[in-house]
Amino acid sequence: MNSLAIPLWLDVVAVGFGGLAGALAARRRGFDIVGVLFLAVIGGLGGALLRDLLLQVPVRALTSPWLLPSAFLGGLLVAPLLALVGPLRFRRDVAFTLLDAMSLAMYSVLGTDRAMTVGLPPISCVFVGTVAGVGGALIRDVLINEQPEHFKPGSFYVLAAVPGCIAYFVMRTLELPVLVSAVVAVGVVITVRMSSWSLNWQTGRRRSA
């Protein structure tokens, strides 16, 4: 029914990164192992679930036996990763933001791609890509009852996802190869997100507000 251009393994990797980011968010709030794993699963699968439900295609997060274990694995890897990064708060912040940005970037591209396969109009493809990109983190933040950072002034989540989705849509419409388009679009999202973040980190004040 839907022959996706982007292969399964990319979904698996994206879910894994989302799981890691979700687990890190849970750790930062001092959740125990159950909370960490639950948020890993939600943060990992949230974007993929939202995407497929919105597009009304089979929910890959459930029909494939690979996605849930990948999110779980992300949750289990958070402890060794934190050990690796070390106790410095700054390095942890960088690690968290980078993982979050990678998850954001991959889901944005995967969401745009699948929306294109379904044949939605351009603006809807970019919308679904953006929702898939920010969705996992959004659901995660809502469930732990925090105001999602995505709405705070100066946070470049949505603003990082949108140009990436547009870039992917344009490149694919021009029939550039899938992998090239995906790598460039992922690069766009990560670049915008990380430069905005490091800028924020320098100015400092607003993050604590």
Least distance to its own copies, CB of residue 90, Å: 26
- Candidates 80-88, 118-126, 166-174, 189-197: pick the segment binding its own copies (CB under 8 A): 118-126
- Candidates 7-15, 38-46, 74-82, 164-172: pick the segment binding its own copies (CB under 8 A): 38-46
Subset of 126-155 contacting its own copies (CB under 8 A): 127-128, 138, 142-148, 150-154
Residue appearing with tokens 């490149």: 171
**Site membership for its own copies, residue 56 (CB under 8 A):** yes
Number of H-type helices and E-type strands within the chain:
10, 0
d(CA 135, CA 104): 9
Number of residues located near its own copies, criterion CB under 8 A: 46
Output 38 or 94, the one with its CB closest to its own copies: 38
**Site membership for its own copies, residue 1 (CB under 8 A):** no
Q: 7 is written with which tokens?
A: 């292969």
Q: Which residue of 5, 59, 77, 171 would you call a contact of its own copies, by CB under 8 A? A: 59
Planar angle of CA 58, 125, 169, nearest 5 degrees: 120
Q: 183 is written with which tokens?
A: 């790598």
Least distance to its own copies, CB of residue 84, Å: 25
Least distance to its own copies, CB of residue 183, Å: 26
Output 88 or 205, the one with its CB closest to its own copies: 205
Output 34 or 88, the one with its CB closest to its own copies: 34
| Radius of gyration of the CA atoms of the chain, in A | 16
Burial of 133 (0-12, 13-18, 19+ CB in 10 A): buried
d(CA 197, CA 100): 11
Question: How is 43-92 classified by DSSP, letter by letter?
Answer: HHHHHHHHHHHHHTS--HHHHSSSHHHHHHHHHHTHHHHHHHH-S-HHHH
Output 85 or 200, the one with its CB closest to its own copies: 200
d(CA 115, CA 4): 10
**Residues found near its own copies in the complex (CB under 8 A):** 26, 30-32, 34-35, 38-39, 41, 49, 53-56, 58-59, 61-65, 68-69, 115, 120-124, 127-128, 138, 142-148, 150-154, 158-159
